Amino acid sequence: MSHATTTDLYEATMALSYLREGMTRQATFSLFVRDLPRDRGFLVSAGLEPVLGFLADFEVTEQDARDFASALGRSEQDVQALVGLRFDGEVRAVPEGRIVLAGEPLLEVTAPLPQAQIVETWLLSQISHQTAVASKAARCVLAAADHPVIDFSLRRSHGPEAGMQAARVGTMVGFAGTSNVAAALRWRTRASGTMAHSYIEAFGDEEAAFLAFARSTPGPVTLLVDTYDTVNGVMTAARVLNTLQLGTGCAVRLDSGDLGALAREARGVLDRSGLPEVAVIASGGLDEYRINSLVRSGAPIDVYAVGTKVGTSSDAPYLDSAYKLVEYDGMPVMKLSAAKITAPGRKQILRADGLDDVIALADEEVPDGREQVLRKVMSAGRRIAEPDTLAAAHQRFLKDLAALPRDACTIEGPTPPLPATSARLRELTSGLRSHLERETEQRRARNARKPHTTVSHPSPAAAEADRIPYGQPGRR
């Protein structure tokens, strides 16, 4: 089964209907996050590279059509129109690693309507998850205040793919390593790990376990010291390290209890044992809030290992993201649903220093001192440049982070910058909204006069001729 069927059922149903009705003209969909989650001063764009790979390879095969027919309860002949459907459109997107704000498009897809529609689920899933986790990971980097942060999230992520994505975006925002071996190899980052409590328990004796582990592990070792009694475990670790004449690059790991107090005791034991170069690593339910508290308290912790709460973005596990049609056949469209109104037209983010952003229409001139944030990354269904690298994304992240207002970077109660809207976009939105509200009132009046009239079924050509676009010269 290919990725083409990894979609919500209604995407296939709508694509089939569009094809049947001959609605294959160019459509633009905009993917954005309506509002930032609580305690988020910014988001970090992530997930674009996997999306571009998916779109470049997208094709509905004969087998996919059979699978769609089975899921839809329809004959194979009835879904043959989907066979051979490929993505040959354009993508403009915010490069990975760049910081984005509420309401700003992370990407815009322009393609024939059935193509742009059927890929919605995959794009939303990839961009939303990776952006959520990248933003959480970025806050851990901020909280750690130049202390290394390591990803330990794989075992409690929402599946192996989510664990790979967490390691990927962690690397992008500056994590120093990951426990995920496959991710370390794929993303060319450091593989990092220690031992489990079960290893200690299997030996039944802490010192025997530490000695065995050191004998079988070339180079520096990290010893887990809290299986029974943390302070006694540190003393045992210090004795083993001195016996084996190990020190530089070695560490002890604290995984439970009052990490601040235990770190101070561990540091004291190690220093008194002549091991000032042995580091203290903390793990166990850590996120940016606990890291921030530990750093601000002056806890002598050298490295922070984060897992469950970061890999799942536990305090904000989803984004209020949307993938909405904003233009069809050259005409702007918008949604008027309560609390979910969308802005019409293809858009661009015009950014000045300090993340002073303006959401504008895509064809607006760029004023002096501003840059276009969305870049064309795909044309005619193909990438227009070599695949991006995590190193390049990391540099973009650092540059944008340095430009963020300080109060957007605080861990608790940040104040996110609010993007402005250009005059042209405001005018288009207001005019189209008024136009649609007038038409809605006219339809409501007609329905009130003819509540039981049988609905007619015009041909697609007649329906197309009867469409009343907004903003096209010579038509209302």
CATH number at residue 282: 3.20.20.70
Return d(Cα 201, Cα 80) in angstroms, integer.
60
For residue 303, being part of any structural domain is answered with yes
Q: Are residues 336 and 204 in the same domain?
A: no
For residue 351, being part of any structural domain is answered with yes
Listed residue (278, 277, 288, 276) closest to 254, CA to CA? 278
Q: Are residues 165 and 305 in the same domain?
A: yes
First-residue to last-residue Cα distance in the chain: 47
For residue 220, being part of any structural domain is answered with yes
Q: What is the pLDDT of residue 453?
A: 61
Q: Are residues 269 and 152 in the same domain?
A: yes
Q: What is the pLDDT of residue 476?
A: 30
Cβ neighbours around 412 below 10 Å, total: 9
Q: Are residues 63 and 211 in the same domain?
A: no
475 has a pLDDT exceeding 80? no
Residue 236 contacts residue 225 (beta carbons within 8 Å): yes
Query: CA 475, 462, 453: angle at the middle one, nearest 5?
Result: 105
**Which neighbouring-strand residues pair with 168?**
none
Q: CA-CA distances (angstroms) from residue 305 to 69, 255, 356?
A: 47, 9, 34
Mean pLDDT in residue range 278-289: 97
Q: What is the pLDDT of residue 470?
A: 59
Domain boundary among 290, 311, 332: 311
Residue 464's pLDDT band (cuts 50, 70, 90): low
Q: Are residues 36 and 72 in the same domain?
A: yes
Return d(Cα 360, Cα 366) in angstroms, integer.
10
The total domain count for the chain is: 2
473 has a pLDDT exceeding 50? no
Residue 95 contacts residue 48 (beta carbons within 8 Å): yes
Q: Are residues 301 and 355 in the same domain?
A: no
Listed residue (237, 307, 227) closest to 279, CA to CA? 237
User: Which strands, in side-by-side order, build the sheet including 321-328?
Assistant: 331-332, 321-328, 26-33, 105-112, 90-93, 375-379, 382-383
For residue 452, being part of any structural domain is answered with no
Q: Are residues 300 and 168 in the same domain?
A: yes
For residue 360, being part of any structural domain is answered with yes
Tokens 């879904």 sit on residue? 79
Mean pLDDT in residue range 328-334: 94
Q: What is the pLDDT of residue 1?
A: 61
For residue 64, being part of any structural domain is answered with yes
For residue 375, being part of any structural domain is answered with yes
For residue 331, being part of any structural domain is answered with yes
Mean pLDDT in residue range 74-87: 94
Residue type at 211? L
Q: Are residues 158 and 122 in the same domain?
A: no
Q: Are residues 376 and 420 in the same domain?
A: yes
Q: Are residues 155 and 109 in the same domain?
A: no
Domain boundary among 394, 410, 427: 427
374 has a pLDDT exceeding 80? yes
Q: What is the pLDDT of residue 442?
A: 86
pLDDT, one tens digit per residue, over 1-47 is: 678 999 999 999 999 999 999 999 999 999 999 999 999 999 999 99
Task: Identify the residue with better confidence: 234 or 338.
Answer: 234
Mean pLDDT in residue range 445-474: 61
Residue 454's pLDDT band (cuts 50, 70, 90): low
Q: What is the pLDDT of residue 474?
A: 32
341 has a pLDDT exceeding 70? yes
Q: What is the pLDDT of residue 455?
A: 62
Q: What is the pLDDT of residue 467?
A: 53
Mean pLDDT in residue range 166-176: 98
Q: Are residues 282 and 324 in the same domain?
A: no
Mean residue pLDDT of the chain comes to 93
CATH number at residue 31: 3.20.140.10
Residue 450's pLDDT band (cuts 50, 70, 90): confident
Q: Are residues 220 and 331 in the same domain?
A: no
Residue 336's pLDDT band (cuts 50, 70, 90): confident
pLDDT, one tens digit per residue, over 122-159 is: 999 999 999 999 999 999 999 999 999 999 999 999 99
463 has a pLDDT exceeding 60? no
pLDDT, one tens digit per residue, over 189-231 is: 999 988 999 999 999 899 999 999 999 988 899 999 999 999 9
Domain boundary among 271, 295, 311: 311
Q: What is the pLDDT of residue 230?
A: 97
pLDDT, one tens digit per residue, over 289-304 is: 999 999 999 999 999 9
Domain containing residue 300: 145-311
Residue 42 contacts residue 135 (beta carbons within 8 Å): yes
